[in-house]
Structure 1
Amino acid sequence: MRIVVTRPKRSGERTAAKLEALGHRPVLLPLFYPAHHGTRAVPALSDSLGAIAVTSAEAVRALNPFAEQLAPHLSKPLFAVGGATAEAAEKSGFRQIFTAAGDAVSLAALVKAHHSLFSKGQPLLYLAGRPRGKVFEESLAAAGIPFNSIDCYEMLPSTISEEDLETALVTTPADVVMLYSSEAARTFFHHVSAKELTTALAATRFICISRNVLSLVPAIFRSQSFAAEEPSEAAMFQLLGRQPGT
């Protein structure tokens, strides 16, 4: 099947390789690209902290150029939102990693289960990005977990031309579009609002990483859209494997 991958280029290429191994024809259409601001995180790491939390592998990558400053903190507990983020943290040298089920709710629950690690003198350091939802931080605050948030990366919108959209979606219609975040869903459907593109997507199926992302799919495409059973790429691939034509 011809499958459009909307992830940023680096992670999108890894997804494309998995799809090719399954016999599919991936098409990269990165809607965002990361800008790293690791210098913002380095001073925060030097403060006393109980553990680190990350909701994206991009937060870990933002720290990689600062290996010398990072080294003394690699033994600190690190709470990762999911498997891919945990893998990035392991590659960067973190040795005590706790992995959640792939979303902010499960990550907050995992942190709360280890509340004894934290105090006002040793708070959780949340290495965050923008844009982001409020669920994780609101859950920590409600549970009385002391934390500090530092924005160490941001996802910026890619420049998507009409030619890019025509190549990905019109010249040869896509069988599937994979949507990995709420921002990706909003941006994708903003780009394809033109009648020609909407028509080209008439038979396209949309694989969404969560029900929240599915809720952002316009009504005209909702009947051909599906949400993964859990917020992970593995679950998206399981869902993809149940689609006709696979």
Structure 2
Amino acid sequence: MTILVTRPHPDNDATLATLRQRGFDALAAPVLRFEPLPFHDDDADYDAVILTSANALRALDLAGSRLLPLPLFAVGTHTADAARAAGFAKVIVAKGDAISLRDLVLARVKAGELEPSATLLYLAGADLSRDLAGELSESGLSVITHTTYRMAPVAAFPREVSDAFMANRITAVLHYSRRSAQAFLDAVRADGIEISALALPQCCISAAVAAVLHDAGATKVVVAAQPDETALLEALGRTMRSAPG
């Protein structure tokens, strides 16, 4: 059984390794490409940092940065690990999505651990699925967003991926974001394999991601119980165990 991993590089390396440890063949097909954008600290007086993706830190050199002592609110465990690796000492972790991150920040305000008029630095990507800054601002917080990267869709699949589809060797696809799901759809359409590709199980990290595949006509769409990779791989395992043959 060959599992197609659409997660961008370099995060896909760990996913591929985990799948192979579990006995799956795994094939990388990153449908988005990381592109760093310039970041210049504006010397504003921040009270905390918020982070919805580990990618926001990838291109930054934060050695000795004045930001590192600040509390950092991370969307999930993977992003939190990246923040700690970058040097942030006080990392508060949400449950894997922007809604839980928003609620976590507001809970800290309610508990008196963050001032109601605090200024937050949001290190973000160019394409955001939710207006987190706007939602926090409605509660009285000041959020300054700095865009540190973008994820650009690839033009087409690598030859080995197209060949694997044509040979019916792909048995399931893993999806990690709405944008990557859309980029996957664009790629299979460009290759003329949309019907056969969408007939496969599509394992999605959240219901929002799954909706992109549902809307495109996929019928075997599986959603992780929680928006993290552990739950996603558990959903994959259940799907493969129940597959015929």
TM-score, length-normalised on structure 1?
Answer: 0.89
| Cα deviation code 1:47-95 (max 9, x no counterpart) | 21110001000112222x3423x2x321210000000000011111111
What is the Cα deviation at residue 162 of structure 1? 7.1
Q: Does 1:24 align with 2:20?
A: no
The counterpart of 1:111, out of the listed 105, 108, 123, is 105
Per-residue CA deviation, residues 167-221 of structure 1 (Å, 9 max, x unaligned), is: 3422343111001000111111122236851343264100011111111114575
Query: What displacement does 1:119 show?
Result: 5.6
Q: Aligned equivalents of 1:243 and 1:53: distance in 2?
A: 35
Which one-letter code corresponds to 2:33 in the other structure?
Y
Equivalences, count: 239
Q: Pick from 195, 208, 211: which aligns with 1:215? A: 211
1:85 paired residue number: 79
Equivalent position amino acid for 1:233 in 2: E
**In the alignment, which of 232, 236, 243 is matched to residue 240 of structure 1?**
236
Q: Kindly tell me: are residues 202 and 140 of structure 1, through their superposed partners in 2, closer, same or farther at Cα, counting changes over 3 Å? A: closer
1:144-155 pair list within 5 angstroms: 144-155=140-151
Q: Tell me, which stretches of 5 or more residues in structure 1 are unaligned?
A: none
- Aligned partner of 2:95 in structure 1 is 101
- Choose 192-201 or 25-34, whichever is displaced more: 192-201
> Do the aligned partners of 1:5 and 1:177 also contact (CA within 8 Å) in 2?
yes
Are positions 1:167 and 2:163 aligned together? yes
1:84 match: secondary structure? helix
Q: Helix, strand or coil: the match of 1:215?
A: helix
How many angstroms apart in 2 are the aligned matches of 1:84 and 1:54? 11
Aligned to 2:7: 7
Task: Give ranges in structure 2 of 5+ residues lacking alignment.
Answer: none
Cα distance in 1, alignment partners of residues 186 and 151 from structure 2: 17
Q: Which has the higher helix share?
A: 1
CA RMSD of aligned residues (A): 2.1
How many angstroms apart in 2 are the aligned matches of 1:232 and 1:103?
Answer: 9
Task: Tell me how far apart the structure 2 counterparts of residues 93 and 194 of structure 1 sit (CA, whole Å).
Answer: 42
Contact 1:50/1:119, CA 8 A, preserved across alignment: no
What is the CA distance between 1:135 and its match in structure 2? Answer: 3.6
> Conserved in 1, the CA contact under 8 Å of 2:8 and 2:33?
yes
Cα deviation code 1:10-68 (max 9, x no counterpart): 0011100110110101100011111122x42x413x321110001000112222x3423
Report the Cα distance in structure 2 between the residues aligned to 1:195 and 1:129, rounded to whole angstroms: 28
Deviation per residue, 1:95-152 (Å, 9 max, x gap): 10000011010000011112242465x5011001111123422321222221111101
Name the CA shift for 1:191/1:202 in 2 (closer, same or farther; >3 Å): closer
TM-score, normalization by structure 2: 0.89
1:48-67 equivalent positions in 2, closer than 5 A: 48-63=45-60, 65-67=61-63
